[in-house]
Amino acid sequence: MSKPDASPSASTAAPTLDAPLLPRIKSPADLKALSVDQLPQLAEEMRHAICDTVSKSGGHLAPNLGVVELSIALHYVFDFSHDRLLFDVGHQCYPHKMMTGRADLLPKLRQRDGISGFPEPRESPYDLFSVGHAGTAISTAVGMARGDQALGHGDRRVVSIIGDASIVNGVAMEGLNNAGTLHRQFLVVLNDNGMSIAKPQGAMAQYFDRMRVNSAYGHFKKRAHEVLARTPFGHALEDMYHRAGEMMKAMITSGHMFEQFGLLCVGPIDGHDLPSLIDMLNEIKDFDRPVLLHCKTIKGKGFDFTAGDPSKFHSPSPFTVEGCRVEMKKSGRSFTTAYADAMVDIMKRDDKVFAITAAMPDGTGINKILPLFPERSLDTGICESHAMDMAAGLAKSGMKPFFAVYSTFAQRAFDQVFQEVSLQGLAVRICLDRAGFVGDDGAVHHGFMDISMFNPLPGVVMLAASDEGNLRAGLEFMRTYDAGCSVIRYPRDAVAETQVVANVPAYELGKAALIKPAKGAKADIAILAYGTEVYEAHKALADLEKQGYDVALYDARFAKPVDVELVRQLVEAGIPILTVEDHFITGGFGACVLEACNQNRIPTDLIHRLAMPEKWVYQASRKFQLGEVGLDATGIARKVRQVLDQRTAANADVAAASR
């Protein structure tokens, strides 16, 4: 399509005389009522609806634009009210949702009263798993295939769709290894867009590059066009060739590596050629052995600005299109940007520092580091376990690895932190972006369990950053900390424009920082806030002070080790303590405080906790999510009043009883 002149919803499509098709699609049955010739128009309408929505709400744009035809073809051939469709990662599910009765909800994408940006079984029986991590689709599909067969439902076809960068994930390889043992229909659709989230890394990516430019197919295709051009009725034959060409390519392309897993491999085939896709799927849908269909697609297809920069538009914030210029909505300086800038400064000063990410160079800020320090930075691709083990190897060799990873994805490397890092006493630095609530990506991406996950490991030190100054100070502490593994967490949020403490002190192992002392000789209560909850607590103080409460506020800084001496002093002074954190209450910072008290024989009657409740919190803004569970300023003030009012009532009861 040409470059847009105005809004993406109104400018990039060629005018059509046909009535709109998308409003007619309320279910896959409505899709099947269309002719194959009508499907390209539907694909174009879907692309514009997706782009228009994401321009307002943010979301995963380029991945969904790239699978429109593939999604249409799958629903056109299969009956997923009976058959099984499983997504890998799931961020490419918007077209699927639009064809399964949720097109009307698309304008409320990633909103609490709308639809999730990932498959969500609460929304529709067409969504089988709530999924946001890579590599899982093949294994869950194998399980459903075996389960259906065992229960006498072997007529249910099973399809999984996975990207070219996801398929190198260890879990995906394990799934393929078991898929090859099935003796029934089983289809793996490999969506090969040469991109995934960022440019794929490693030998597998190079293999797919060779498949995409297979010289035998390219030569065959060129010669066929030349012959047809000189043949009577060439245009008719050209159309026949176009529809049969992809199947011809499947026949001449041999030696696909996944054949070694026991799968029949077909392709590569053009993932945007709807007639050929539908013909091919009809041919292979009932094969009685596992099949891998290799489809070539263009990530961001349909708009020049998305296809031209698919990494930037993988998951953009809201944007506007003005002619050839696309403006992203500004949301303040992010922790991710602050991390990148801090790491650049550190790497300039210390030539032993090595920066790592696992397929998230944009999301973690490493994209700024890679061109500046190409010999001391690496994107490993979607393989958190390998990245963590590689970091262990770097540490063992004498380097100082900093692994930037989303908190939710760090879960996938826990075994490596246990075995190859903590057990060895190695100084690997783990930087957890998107800790706590992540906002509109919802439950699949919340970083709610990193403290509880790493706390049991001997020698691990856990920090949190409340603002940019503390992030820089925390990273500097980690740079010089060689006694073991260190972990720092920070949210998907903007850093504070004005810091509550102008001159941030250096991090001292296991020591909290006083943010605001009590006005009187003794505080009514002390808040120990972990991470950015310092700022919500600080906002709460204004309201509390107006009501006559005298509150001391501390930035806890460390969950392990806890500042035991501070806790002891407060308890011995009879000052109640409220711990505040954006982590599950089970195993979080507050739990660490209670455990430290138990170990040091400090009474815990005065200690109260405020944290994420043990329930799933779904898509909405991060601000909304914090407010929903009482972790915003209003909720913290309410909890302080509750603690102090209960204490006053208890003291009154004791006094009455003593009379």
Catalytically active residues, by annotation? 299, 384, 412
For residue 301, the number of C-alpha atoms closer than 13 Å in the C-beta half-sphere is: 22
Q: How far apart are CA 559 and CA 451, in angstroms?
A: 8
What region, left, alpha or beta, does residue 417 occupy, with left being phi > 0 and alpha being psi -120 to 50 degrees?
A: alpha
Structure tokens at 434: 């998107």
Classify residue 226 as exposed, middle or buried by CB count within 10 Å of its CB (0-12, 13-18, 19+).
Answer: exposed
Q: What is the 3-state secondary structure (H, E, C) of 490-507?
A: CCCCECCCCCCCCCCCCC
Determine the angle formed by the axes of helices 533-546 and 633-658, rounding to 10 degrees: 60
Strand order in the sheet with 486-489: 377-379, 353-357, 400-406, 429-433, 486-489, 461-464, 558-560
**Beta carbons within 8 Å of 24's beta carbon, 6+ residues apart:** 30
Q: What is the 3-state secondary structure (H, E, C) of 564-627?
A: HHHHHHHHHCCCCEEEEEEEECCCCHHHHHHHHHHHCCCCCCCEEEEEECCCCCCCCCHHHHHH
At 560 the three-state DSSP class reads strand
Residues 406 and 445: beta-carbon distance below 8 Å: yes
Strand order in the sheet with 513-516: 513-516, 551-555, 525-529, 577-584, 607-612
Measured between its terminal Cα atoms, the distance across the chain in Å is 85
Q: How far apart are CA 150 and CA 454, in angstroms?
A: 39
Q: How does strand 551-555 pair with strand 513-516?
A: antiparallel
Structure tokens at 20: 């709109």
Q: How far apart are CA 274 and CA 608, in angstroms?
A: 60
CB 276: neighbour CB atoms within 10 A? 21
Q: How far apart are CA 436 and CA 582, in angstroms?
A: 5
Host H or E run for residue 389 = helix 384-397
Q: How far apart are CA 355 and CA 443, in angstroms?
A: 28
Residues 639 and 590: beta-carbon distance below 8 Å: no
Nearest to 579 by CA among 525, 616, 644, 499: 525
Residues 347 and 134: beta-carbon distance below 8 Å: no
424-444 burial, b if ≥16 CB within 10 A, otherwise e? Answer: eebbbbbbbbbbbbbbbbbbb
Place of tokens 């029934």: 184
